[in-house]
Amino acid sequence: MKKYLLPKEGTFFKANLHTHTNRSDGAQSPEKVKEVYKDLGYSVVAYTDHDIFIDSQHLTDDTFVALNGVEYSSPLGDPDKPPKQRRFCHFCAIQKDKTKLIDPLYHRTKYFNSFTSEEDKKKIVFDENVPDFEREYSADCINEMMKKCKEAGFFVTYNHPGGSLERYPDYMQYKYMDAMEIYNGCSIMSGHTDYNPREYEDFLMNGRRLFCVGGDDSHLKYMDSPVHTDAGRAFTMIKAKELTYEAIIDSLTKGHFYASEGPEIYELYYEDGKVHIKTSDCDRITLSMCGRKNRSVKDEGKGLNEATFDVLEDDIYIRFTVCDKYRKTASTIAYFIEDFMK
> pLDDT tens, 301-311?
889 999 999 99
> pLDDT tens, 240-267?
999 999 999 999 999 999 999 999 999 9
Give residue 91's region: left, alpha or beta (phi > 0; psi -120 to 50). Answer: beta
In this predicted structure, what is the pLDDT of residue 266? 98
> pLDDT tens, 279-297?
999 999 999 999 888 999 9
**70 has a pLDDT exceeding 90:** yes
The runs of H, that is alpha helices, within 61-123 are 118-121
In this predicted structure, what is the pLDDT of residue 59? 98
Q: Is pTM beyond 0.95 here?
A: yes
**102 has a pLDDT exceeding 80:** yes
Which candidate, 336, 297, 299, places its Cα nearest to that of 314? 336
Strands 44-47 and 65-73: parallel
To the nearest whole number, what is the mean pLDDT of the chain?
Answer: 96
DSSP 231-271: TTSSEEEEEESSSSHHHHHHHHHHT-EEEESS--EEEEEEE
**226 has a pLDDT exceeding 80:** no
CA distance 58 to 259: 27
The runs of H, that is alpha helices, within 163-228 are 168-171, 185-189, 197-205
> pLDDT tens, 176-199?
999 999 999 999 988 888 999 999
Q: Which residues of 15-29 are buried (b: 16+ CB within 10 A; e: fewer)?
A: bbbbbbbbbbebbbe
H or E segment to which residue 143 belongs: helix 139-151
In this predicted structure, what is the pLDDT of residue 220? 93
CA distance 249 to 206: 27
Report the pLDDT averaged over residues 321-328: 96
In this predicted structure, what is the pLDDT of residue 332? 98
Model confidence at 229, in pLDDT bands (50, 70, 90)? confident
